[in-house]
Amino acid sequence: MRALIQRVTEASVSVDGDETGAIGPGLLVLICAMQGDSAAEADYLVRKISKLRIFQDSAGKMNRSVQDIDGSVLVVSQFTLAADTRSGNRPGFSAAAPPAEGKVLYQYFADQLAKLDLPVARGSFGADMKVRLLNDGPVTIWMDSADR
């Protein structure tokens, strides 16, 4: 699985003008299941992301996790993280998991974060979404479970 994590002051997602999820301080996680991914990859990213120390402590150092700050997480599916841009000018997305599998892993990922007592808001899998965010820092981090 691939994830793009952004430390945010606030973030929201809407579909057809209706807000489906919103958070205050915390993380916006754009997530993509790849071909061959399973719950093991989602579990790995949940562990890493929930403990990722990218929030400032009292000394101004990035030393606190989203759990430490009692923050929230907005999880948004984004198959375009699977983009292959090596050839031509039109990205290919064949490395992404098929939609049915991707949806299951997306839901599993968000559910596992929620089991850690993190407030989790969600986008709408497969929908044309509008995402608003106020990136804090800015801090943006890329993770791929294949890199472990």
CB 145, CB 73: distance < 8 Å: no
Which one from 6, 20, 78, 112 is the annotated catalytic residue?
Answer: 78
Which one from 6, 20, 55, 79 is the annotated catalytic residue?
Answer: 79
Which one from 9, 35, 80, 93 is the annotated catalytic residue?
Answer: 80
CB 23, CB 11: distance < 8 Å: yes
Is-catalytic flag, 79?
yes
DSSP H or E segment with residue 43: helix 39-51
The single residue listed with the structure tokens 């989602």 is: 42
The single residue listed with the structure tokens 């989790």 is: 120
Q: Which amino acid is at 14?
A: S
Is-catalytic flag, 78?
yes
Q: Is the dihedral of CA 135, 29, 77, 125 positive or negative?
A: negative
Q: Which amino acid is at 147?
A: D
Is-catalytic flag, 125?
no
Catalytic residues: 78-80
